[in-house]
Structure 1
Amino acid sequence: MALKNFVPLALLLLFVAVLAAVGYVAYSIVQDVSKNTREKMERKHVVFSKDGMKVEVKEMKDEEYKDRSQSVLVNMWNHTSFPAYKSRLWDMAGTSGADTQFHAEQRKPHSH
């Protein structure tokens, strides 16, 4: 009779032990991933804390900042093209000045 009462208790303990083992493995995996991610982010100067995330920025002198910005803008300007673009202010195709003056007069509003 004592054996019949012992089997459900043993099964319950075994079930709880399996759940505890699965929970521990999941917890250790989450902690390991969190630790590795934190270390990789710290190498890239990003720090997580209870207050939030802090990002360290390399200090750059004003002149170096302006040089880099200007370099980017000059490179963009040099590598762009405007197909079939005709400026209202100047004619890149080099047509005669009389033709340009005629187009300018057409754009002017008429006065009555």
Structure 2
Amino acid sequence: MALKNLLPLFFLVVFVGILAAVGYVVYSIVQDVSKNTKEKMERKHMVFSKDGMKVQVKEIKDEEYKDRSQSVLVNIWNHTSFPAYKSRLWDMGGSDATKSEGGAEKRKPYSK
């Protein structure tokens, strides 16, 4: 009779033990993923703390920054075409006169 009363207690202890084991496995996996993620983020100069996330920026000298910016603008300018635009100062299409005379376009004489 006493064994019959202890059987639900035994099942409860086994059930709580299984839940504790599953909880521990989940906790250890979360901690491992958190540690690996933190290490990867630190390699990319990002640090998580209680205050928030801090991002370290590589220092670029002012002259290098200006050179990169100017290079991008020059590349954009060189690869741009204005199909309906005719300039009096330069030929964006690259006429034959410009190519044959070393980059200088020959002007036509003014006539009325």
Provide TM-score, normalisation by structure 1.
Answer: 0.73
Instruction: Find the aligned partners of 1:57 and 1:42 in 2 and give their Cα distance.
Output: 12
What is the aligned-residue RMSD (CA, Å)? 2.1
C-alpha deviation, 1:80, in angstroms: 3.7
In the alignment, what sits opposite 1:71? 71
Instruction: Find the aligned partners of 2:68 and 2:6 in 1 and give their Cα distance.
Output: 78
* Residue ranges of structure 1 left out of the alignment (5+ in a row): 97-112
C-alpha deviation, 1:26, in angstroms: 0.5
Q: Tell me whether 53-62 or 71-80 shows the greater mean CA deviation.
A: 71-80
- AA aligned to 2:9 is L
Alignment of 1:90-105 (within 5 A): 90=87
- How many residue pairs get matched? 92
In the alignment, what sits opposite 1:26? 26
Provide TM-score, normalisation by structure 2.
Answer: 0.73
Secondary structure at the residue paired with 2:59?
Answer: coil
Q: Tell me whether 73-82 or 10-19 shows the greater mean CA deviation.
A: 73-82
> Percent of counterpart pairs with the same letter?
74
* Residue ranges of structure 2 left out of the alignment (5+ in a row): 96-107
C-alpha deviation, 1:6, in angstroms: 1.2
